[in-house]
Amino acid sequence: MTAELRQGDCRVLLPVVEAESVRLAYLDPPFFTQKVHRLRGRDRREEFVFADLWSGHEQYAEFLHACATEVRRALSPDGSLFVHCDRRSGHIARAVLDRVFGAHRFRSEIVWQYRRWSNARRAQSG
């Protein structure tokens, strides 16, 4: 068995992948921020830009549905899908994934917690 990593837009990459041949898929779609995101490379010469702009929840859900449908076709019966989203898009993604895969296939979620306050007080008392 050969493992292969493919990175890019699943709507472009997956149509040429054999049905039910993928054991693990990871989706990191835009987060419905309604912003244009810009990031410079480490050398500051190259700029990466993408527009996370949508006319509404429906358009965003249609985008996610197209992605999820391609993943479902390519995913093997014993395969797993991980989806990275945040509080702005999680509810939309969950509804789309339930529709495409079936709610009974949902297994678990990982919730990140960020510390927002300083531990200075605790550090002083210890």
Output the six-digit token pair for 117.
């306050």
pLDDT value, residue 122: 57
Q: Is residue 106 part of a domain?
A: yes
pLDDT at 115: 75
Would 122 be classed as within a structural domain? no
pLDDT at 123: 54
- Whole-number pLDDT of residue 116: 73
> Which CATH number do you get for residue 42?
3.40.50.150
Q: For residue 8, is it within any domain?
A: no
How many independent structural domains does the chain possess? 1
Any domain includes 108: yes
Q: Which of 77, 63, 78 has its CA nearest to residue 27?
A: 63
Q: Structural domain of residue 31, as residue ranges? A: 18-112
Query: For the ranges 14-28, 31-45, 61-75, 110-124, which has the lowest average pLDDT?
Result: 110-124
Phi–psi pair at 88, nearest 5 degrees: -75, -30
Mean pLDDT of 41-62: 94
* % of the chain with per-residue pLDDT over 70: 91
Is residue 125 over pLDDT 90?
A: no
| Burial group, residue 99, by CB count within 10 angstroms (0-12, 13-18, 19+) | middle
Domain-embedded: residue 120: no
Do the Cβ atoms of 100 and 72 come closer than 8 Å?
Answer: yes
pLDDT, average across residues 85-105: 96
pLDDT at position 2 is 79
Q: Is residue 124 part of a domain?
A: no
* pTM of the predicted structure, to 2 decimals: 0.83
Class of residue 70 by CB neighbours under 10 A (exposed 0-12, middle 13-18, buried 19+): buried
Q: Is residue 42 part of a domain?
A: yes
pLDDT-derived band at 60 (thresholds 50, 70, 90) equals very high
52 located within any domain: yes
Asked if pLDDT for residue 74 goes beyond 90, the answer is: yes
